[in-house]
Amino acid sequence: MNFSSAMDAKKTKIICSVADNRCDVEFIRSMYESGMNVVRVNSAHASIEGAQKIVDNVRKVSDRIAILIDTKGPEVRLTNVENPFLVTEGATVEIFDDPSGICRQGSLYTSYPNFSRDVPVGARVLIDDGSIELKVVSKGEGRLVCEVMNEGLIGSHKSVNVPNVHIDLPALTEKDKKFILWAIKADIDFIAHSFVRNARDLQEIQDILDAEGSHLKIISKIENQQGVDNLDDILSHCYGVMVARGDLGVEIPPESLPLVQKAIVSACRERKKPVIVATQMLQSMIENPRPTRAEITDVANAIFQGADAIMLSGESAYGKYPVEAVKTMQKIAEENEKALDVCLTLNLRKVVKPVAAVIARSLIASTLELPVKCLVFDTYTGRIGRYLSSFRPKVPMYAMCYRESTMRELAMVRGIETYPFQQVKDKNEFAEKAIGILAAEGKVQKGDLIGYIGGLFGSEQGATYMEFRYVD
């Protein structure tokens, strides 16, 4: 499958986690040509030097690949363990408030110095993504006394979750702040902030971006019940959302996860915000060249729900079959997108530019009645592209972008292919130049009917017109 057909064949975007020990240019190119749209860098497992290496190599491949970096966010982890050890069901374990302590049999320490203060008696403490459960039976000065509910292996720096308990952690760590400042200088595209609990968790990041005059966009990772409960407010302060199902599936009852995922995706579509579904989508392909049937269904279900993007984590970062995993996602998307219907619902109370939203819906509706080959629009901010995409049209959409950063931001938005574009004086010149670009790549040909949507050229006022014309 060549690059052009891979990118044209699907509408759902693919995000791939990439590690600095496997990020050479040929590897990035092979992933891109197989269908990857966005590269993810996990700051929890990378140095700034390693992250810069990934960015440099991605930029050598294409200026259309977006780059997303995760922050660690307000998380709690165990401290170091000299030798991993087993805890047995019914045993007693104490958790002490000393981030410098070393975990050993019977005594655990976490990265948060006020853990015992915030966690009440009766709470469930889940370790290593929930593989070990402890129940808090009593509290002492600077410590919790817990009963082990199931056997498991304790290792260094494993995750610690306390469902339905507010842990009073700062939104950003010092490492997060260093990575954000680096990301601004490196001109990457997205910051995915972990464990977003409310809009206040985003404000410190936005303040840094504003102070530096940065265009970087914030993706809110929803990983706990607070994030779910405050989703509407969170959506008002970020570019998009990631359904981060690893910690989310620990923080809420696992049987509720499919319904929560569906609700988050639906809310994002209503607000015209990109939404990513992530975690263990093709987990078995870390070790195997083919996915399980359940994994194929999981990916397809995210597509049916209307996710803008689906994500690979360990499958692409350190798995044995990274390119095959991307190709698998590509094929699943291509096949199952055929079953999706255009959605024309619109809540005008949820959009910033209601005129543009109504015009966008009208243009999408026209594709159900007219033989429209594709939709074309010009954009500074990418907003009209997000509006068009939210209605999930079946026809291709091509964005003529006045900014390189906008091209990469739209790499996160379902169904949009981007092109660099220079400012023009009127809509006739825009149509002629856009047709020329698309015709040169074989996207359109003589006799094709094209739908346009646009606004006042050279401004950021949003779309104000739509029209149709045949390619002559």
Residue 346's nearest CA partner among 354, 336, 338 is: 354
What does the alpha-carbon distance between residue 369 and residue 188 come to, in Å, rounded to a whole number? 40
Distance CA 396, CA 415 (A): 7
Annotation says 408 is catalytic: no
End-to-end CA distance of the chain: 31
Catalytic status, residue 221:
yes
Q: What does residue 35 show for φ and ψ, rounded to 5 degrees?
A: 130, 0
| HEC sequence for 183-250 | HHHHCCCEEEECCCCCCHHHHHHHHHHHHCCCCCEEEEEECCHHHHHCHHHHHCCCCEEEEEHHHHHH
Q: What is the DSSP letter of 168?
A: -
- 279, 328, 379, 406: which is the annotated catalytic residue? 279
Report the alpha-carbon distance of residue 38 to residue 231 in Å, rounded: 24
Helix/strand/coil for 154: strand
φ, ψ (nearest 5 deg) of residue 447: 95, -10
Pairing of strands 240-244, 159-161: unpaired
Which position among 10, 13, 40, 373 bears the catalytic label? 40
**Catalytic residue selected from 22, 53, 59, 77:** 77
In angstroms, the Cα distances linking 352 to 143, 384, 393, 458, 462 are 49, 11, 21, 19, 10
Distance CA 327, CA 196 (A): 31
Q: Select which of 10, 11, 64, 221 is catalytic.
A: 221
Written as six digits, the tokens of 266 are: 């639906």
Nearest-angstrom CA–CA distance, 286 and 317: 9
Query: Which residues share a beta bridge with 147?
Result: 92, 135
Q: Tokens standing for 240?
A: 């998009």
The answer to whether 402 and 385 are in contact (CB under 8 A) is no
**Whether 238 contacts 273, CB under 8 Å:** yes
Residue 300 contacts residue 336 (beta carbons within 8 Å): yes
The catalytic site residues sit at 40, 77, 221, 279
